[in-house]
Structure 1
């Protein structure tokens, strides 16, 4: 594929398969979740959030050039922070507190659903075992993340005013971070995928990541059936 065709193929995956289309996310954004459902999502999604720097460290270790390592290192710092009380993981903990979920409850992880654990483990192991190109390509769900974050901020402000406004800082920060990170990762994938086989592997990796996010929401959604 030409660079233009390859870019189009990559962008088509989240456009068709991103978890903004999942019924649970759609109910969330339409204001249809109860406080218990929203808290269950916050608890289980945190299991994914706390593993983001883990998978990024695995990707970082695969790079053989300083430029790529320097660029990717920033992602770990974005989530872990440079000091206690900073970073995306901290901001998710504050989201939980704003929604009435104690920090200790999030950190304990005792309520994480088996299906969520399986999905997150699958993604982390993918980044551990697959080549750098495929691991980076999987992160390109970030191409669709800024739009989702804007939708989510508006939905929370409109439908869930009982959540303190400061708790939405994670979503606000991810608008800019997602745009920056997705463009950097896209450029890296375009540079590294030079054969048709590599291009197809990158597209398949991105498709896999979309399935991970979808499976996570399947588990969260199914946990509320009949309640």
Structure 2
């Protein structure tokens, strides 16, 4: 049997996946941060990314259901509350709706999913089903894109403030909130993956799961980049 990687080696391999394949490198994201997207392109991204955002608490509920330990469930349920909110008018989904409104998209257009492209639907469905069908290790490892999210959020806030002043600054609340939440969630998930993946086979599965999640995010942007203008 092949010996497992040390915790340090395993962590480096996981971080290498994000460094090489995270969607911050996608041409659409690069153009977004350079400030070269048109209003129509940015609205198309906001509308389609919302389809992913609204499914985050769904996939987290599927992951939570795999945990036998009540303490793990208590910790993970916070992620659902972060997006759904603890009351109406609160949470990450609400903040994304406000981003859409700040960009000139009616929230009804986001909620009815009429703007969602087929490729985006398939990418999101694939990720949700991955979390539904795969073991807890794989599903949690897929969430490790959160390790790269804080830096992306900081870059995005700066880009929106400098290049897209037509979007009211209050609409950027989702990005600001996710800087702290993403850092916390990424470290929490990394700790679980390091604890659970004790064999080389389990470690390689975790690396592959993170690669799959990077592919989901990349494919979503491919669809948005090539899709029709949402108006």
Deviation at 1:71, TM superposition (A): 1.0
Query: Partners of 2:199 and 2:175 in 1: how far apart?
Result: 36
Deviation at 1:62, TM superposition (A): 0.2
Instruction: Find the partner of 1:223 among 216, 227, 230.
Output: 227
Instruction: Find the partner of 1:27 among 15, 31, 34.
Output: 31
Query: Partners of 2:164 and 2:115 in 1: how far apart?
Result: 23
What is the CA deviation profile of residues 84-115 of structure 1, one whole-angstrom value per residue up to 9, with x for unaligned ones?
A: 00000000000000000001000000110000
Deviation at 1:159, TM superposition (A): 0.2
Deviation at 1:74, TM superposition (A): 0.2
What is the CA deviation profile of residues 128-172 of structure 1, one whole-angstrom value per residue up to 9, with x for unaligned ones?
A: 000000000000000100000000000000000000000000000
1:212 aligns with 2:198: no
> Within 5 A, what are the aligned runs for 1:50-199?
50-199=54-203
Deviation at 1:217, TM superposition (A): 0.2
The gaps in structure 1 that reach 5 residues or longer are none
Deviation at 1:224, TM superposition (A): 4.7
What is the CA deviation profile of residues 61-92 of structure 1, one whole-angstrom value per residue up to 9, with x for unaligned ones?
A: 00110121111100000000000000000000
Deviation at 1:122, TM superposition (A): 0.2
Backbone CA RMSD of aligned residues:
1.1
Corresponding position of 2:6: 2
- What is the SS of the residue equivalent to 1:112? coil
Corresponding position of 1:46: 50
What is the CA deviation profile of residues 24-57 of structure 1, one whole-angstrom value per residue up to 9, with x for unaligned ones?
A: 0000000010000000000000000000000000
- What is the SS of the residue equivalent to 1:135? helix
The gaps in structure 2 that reach 5 residues or longer are none
The runs of 4+ residues in structure 1 deviating greater than 4 Å are: none
Aligned residues: 226
Query: Partners of 2:195 and 2:70 in 1: how far apart?
Result: 15
- What is the SS of the residue equivalent to 1:185? helix
Query: Partners of 2:144 and 2:71 in 1: how far apart?
Result: 19
- What is the SS of the residue equivalent to 2:14? helix
Normalising to structure 2: TM-score of the pair? 0.97
Query: Partners of 1:114 and 1:104 in 2: how far apart?
Result: 19
Query: Partners of 1:11 and 1:160 in 2: how far apart?
Result: 31
Query: Partners of 1:52 and 1:221 in 2: how far apart?
Result: 22
